[in-house]
A and B are shown apart, each in its own frame.
Chain A
Amino acid sequence: MDRRLLLQLLATGGALTTAPASVWAAGQTSRGITRHPTPGDQGSLPLSSRESLLAELEELQAATQARRRRYCHLTQPNWPDGARIAVNFTFDVDHVLSRTANDEPPMQVAKGEFGGRVGAWRTLELLERQGIVGTFFTPGRTADLYPTILREIAERGHEFADHMWEHYVPADPVVQRDHMLRTRDVLTELAGRPPVGTRSSYPDALVLEMGYIYNSHGFASPLPFKVRRDGKELLNLSVHLAIDDAMYFNYGWIGSGASAQRLSDQELVLDIWWQAFQQQYEAGGYLNIALHPFIIGHAARIDMLDELITRMKSLPGVWFANSEDVARHCLALPSEAFACNEE
């Protein structure tokens, strides 16, 4: 938005003299700020309207500026050993807890239960075979329900990270802290060391207070980025829902009905993930694929993931890392590696 052009537009009541006609004629108006000139629309707007429109503009400008100040984008990842791409498989071990947190009925809970009873075991077996260390974002309560597989995950040297207590972030800050502490305790006991990250929407300050060095939640750019709020800074390991297994093999956004289902087949998803990988490989970037044992753990999908990893390995310069390794690498980079807006 060019403020100068806008002011001119307001002053002339819609007749622009210097702007290319196409800017306005194509309907590229900013929301709520301008209107299309109409034949009867002569003369300048009354002063009160102009002020109100300016206020709308300024509100949006302020939001934009605040956002720009909030983000720092990694521009020079310099992955270890000259790698071209960091590939980070992350697993949300939320089988049944995301079902119960949404108050879903027994058949749905059973669907999630596949993850703990079957899917997570197959996932581990695949990672072992491919020699890949994953990150398991785990609701603390899972340890009550599936202790054996969690011990197995720990024993094989995978990373545990926070994924809330029962897969929701409570509104009350006191309960938030309690949930975070409980999950941290459970995961610490399992792994023999505290977790260092989370996948959640807890307040950044609380995440940092827990000693966590990253969140992996949201996608402001393909490479990891930092978010600055209230004088604190938190690294975020970008993860995109468009390549999340739930987007293909589960159905609907949370809260939607079965008619909003998404059901795809393995070959198609393999192709999509492969293209996402190639795009980031060529760009010298980062790929974080979020998977769920209750979804990816079905045999045909495990076979497909196996094929994907094998393809990735056929190219040079692919760094398979867990989230902690990626985060520690990023945080050890010199500040010039990140582009920040100071405004």
Chain B
Amino acid sequence: MPWKSGYTISDEIALADEEIVWPSEKRCAVNVTVALSTAIMPEGLLARDLSGDDAELAFGAGLDALLDVFERLGIRATFAVPAVIAAVEADRVRQLAEAGHEIAALGFRHEDPTELPLDVERVRLRATAYAIRETTGQSPAGWYGLPRQGDRYAAGSVSPNTVDLLIDEGFEYLGNGMADDAPHYWVTDPEPPKALVTMPYSYHFDDQFFLQFPPLALRGGSGIEHPEVLVSNWRSAFAAQYERGRMFSMTLHPHLIGTLHRIRMLEEFLASVTEKDDVWIATAKQCADHWRAQYPPETHLRLAPSIWTE
């Protein structure tokens, strides 16, 4: 019987607050992830998602405003980019990379891979790495399975094979997982450990679930605007994570956060983060590199033996 197979993805107990250290004796790590996608449904980006105002804002004024905020505050973010966007918005994506932001993968078209056959998923994964390398000159280190507003679950999506494939194809980290509020390992095989560093994600800090959610395209719900709840969640979570010396990560979409009151509220919040000297604002790749070096899976992954008794 495989190790807790189908029941857990990581070890039994997370690293305690006091075990976690960040580079240069920083107290807390913060990552800002930008999903460069206007996909709404699990199928990922459809032609209509790239045809209208939202896409125009996402790759135009919304992104400009977001980049201005990052520049003013000296923040290097991680942009999760679908392969098709790396191809059709190549200049924009290159510009992001040149500004020092990290370019990670967000699927081929930001699709939910849950039902993909293994061979199909492998091809899509390779094509994604290739498309991003073609645009930026660098293979993406990270892979994101971020949720879309029309998903059944807001936790994000990987197929049962995704993490194995990512390891086999040389990816260095998975960008979003909910089993911890610090980086952790997603284990696909216990002995010897085959595992991938996974960055913490929480949909409570993801703008798309608070700003006119659910969107008109989903034809249901109120579409109510709740930026204050989003910001309140950011504030209280950052304060608590800072206190504990763990990590805070947030997820943004340029067409949503990048305008009007929203971008002001974002800047005000981020300024309260950057004004602290002991916060390490890092890209996901920097965090993942640090984690692997500081807590190698061979020595720090505490996998209990199989426990099944039946």
Q: Does A117 contact B (CB under 8 A)?
A: yes
Q: Is there contact, CB below 8 Å, between B149 and A117? A: no
Classify chain A's interface size. 35 or more
Q: Is there contact, CB below 8 Å, between B8 and A107? A: no
Contacts of A144 in B (CB 8 A): 4, 307-309
Contacts of A109 in B (CB 8 A): 6-9
Contacts of A113 in B (CB 8 A): 8-10, 178-179
Q: Does A261 contact B (CB under 8 A)?
A: yes
Binary A-proximity of B29-61 (CB < 8 A = 1, otherwise 0): 000000000000000000000000000000000
Q: Is there contact, CB below 8 Å, between B153 and A106? A: no
Write the nearest CB–CB distance from A204 to chain B, whole angstroms: 29
Contacts of A76 in B (CB 8 A): none
Q: Is there contact, CB below 8 Å, between A264 and B12? A: no
A257 and B237 contact, Cβ closer than 8 Å, known pairs A144-B307, A298-B181: no
Stretch at the interface among A24-32, A52-60, A64-72, A146-154: A146-154
A203 to B184, CA, bound (A): 41
Write the nearest CB–CB distance from B106 to chain A, whole angstroms: 14
A263 to B149, CA, bound (A): 14
- Chain A residue at smallest Cβ distance from B177: A110
Contacts of A302 in B (CB 8 A): 240
Write the nearest CB–CB distance from B81 to chain A, whole angstroms: 20
A8 to B299, CA, bound (A): 83
Q: Is there contact, CB below 8 Å, between A265 and B114? A: no
Residue from the list A105, A265, A299, A304 in contact with B229, Cβ < 8 A: A265
Q: Does B232 contact A (CB under 8 A)?
A: yes
A104 to B151, CA, bound (A): 13
Q: Is there contact, CB below 8 Å, between B232 and A110? A: no
Contacts of B309 in A (CB 8 A): 144
A97 to B154, CA, bound (A): 18
- Chain B residue at smallest Cβ distance from A266: B236
Contacts of A263 in B (CB 8 A): 203-204, 209-210, 229, 233
A300 to B233, CA, bound (A): 9
Contacts of A17 in B (CB 8 A): none
Binary B-proximity of A251-279 (CB < 8 A = 1, otherwise 0): 10000011111011111100000000000
A265 to B160, CA, bound (A): 32
Chain B 254-310 interface residues, beta-carbon cutoff 8 Å to A: 304, 307-309
Q: Is there contact, CB below 8 Å, between A107 and B158? A: yes
Q: Is there contact, CB below 8 Å, between B307 and A299? A: no
Q: Is there contact, CB below 8 Å, between B8 and A257? A: no
Q: Does B243 contact A (CB under 8 A)?
A: yes
Could you list some 9 contacts between A and B, CB below 8 A?
A: A97-B7, A110-B9, A144-B307, A145-B307, A147-B12, A258-B153, A261-B209, A263-B233, A300-B240
A259-B221, A266-B232 known; 7 new pairs, CB 8 Å cut-off, are: A100-B6, A110-B155, A113-B9, A145-B12, A265-B229, A267-B236, A299-B181
